[in-house]
Amino acid sequence: MLVNMKEILEIAERERYAIPCINTPNVETIRAVIGAAEELNTPIIIDHAEVHDSLIPIERIGPEMIKYAKEASVPVCVHLDHGTDYNFVLRAIKAGFPSIMYDCSALPFEENIAKVKKFVQIAHAAGITVEAELGVMASTEEDTHADAETQVLTNEDIKKFFTEPEEAKIFAEETGCDALAVCFGTMHGIYAEPPVLDIDRVKEIRAALPKDCRVVMHGASGVEFSQVQNAIDAGCSKINYYSYMAKATTKFVGELIAEKEGKIAYHEVQEEAYKFMKSYAKEVILAFKNGK
């Protein structure tokens, strides 16, 4: 069933677990992620990143995402990830997305507030939930959904992007956003060294935000599940995950083709990749369920 983000994140925070938000740039990934959620009888968020539009336009993949969400036996939110271009955000709304991340985090603090606040007023009037971001989420080498120049960042480098709890409070109260992606030790892509999360900062941000604004963690791929679970305990109720799943699937497909000595049809490769991704997604969902 198709739902908006607000209602399932309310449940997640109350039950002290997190909903995975996983990129689904093709039908096999949509099937895999929703199939995993159905087998585990848990809500899920699937999203389309603006930077994947060159791979597959939202007008093509959006209807597929919504179709599978409506047919699912569990609540599924269809979400736009990192919408930075306002025209693209409008295209997502036209495509029927019930949840939008309007990402103005690269702008100065006051401008970020002003743009998100204006959009929230429009979106809420249409029953659409809004995620924003405060503190720039860095992108590392092999980021699967970035168009920026790749970077090699250490844990010390990442600290300059951290979100300040007091600014998060002002931002959420001023904009009225439903969820806020914050920076506390993660980044997009493949890590140069094992990440270290500032869990105390998450606790401070959660305490500072309005009760109905949820804390979001991006860049969970590559973070030890024990650290992710600590972040959930500290207040994260939506966690984005994709890069390592995508790379693991590529590795699996390469090994499969080598094992078969190339004697395997493309459609068979697709189905095997779907099965692998579904199994991988189940592991992620179970970890984020946090023992629930």
Lookup: tokens for 108: 């100065």
Q: How far apart are CA 201 and CA 225, in angstroms?
A: 18
Residue 191, CB-side half-sphere exposure with 13 Å CA sphere:
20
Choosing from 53, 81, 103, 198, the catalytic residue is 81
Residue 58: is it exposed, middle or buried by C-beta count within 10 angstroms (0-12/13-18/19+)? Answer: buried
Cβ(81)–Cβ(47) under 8 Å? yes
Q: Side chain identity at 145, as an amino acid letter? A: H
> Do residues 162 and 114 touch, judged by C-beta distance below 8 A?
no
Tokens standing for residue 221: 């791929």
Question: Within its chain, how far is the Cα of 272 from the centroid?
Answer: 24
Q: How far apart are CA 115 and CA 102, in angstroms?
A: 9
For residues 57 and 59, what is the distance between their CA atoms, to the nearest angstrom? 5
Task: State yes or no: is 198 an active-site residue.
Answer: no
**CA-based radius of gyration for the chain:** 18
Beta strands (DSSP E) in the chain are: 2-3, 19-23, 44-49, 76-83, 99-102, 129-134, 179-182, 214-217, 236-240
CA angle, corner 80, sides to 74 and 84, nearest 5?
165
Q: Which residues are catalytic?
A: 81
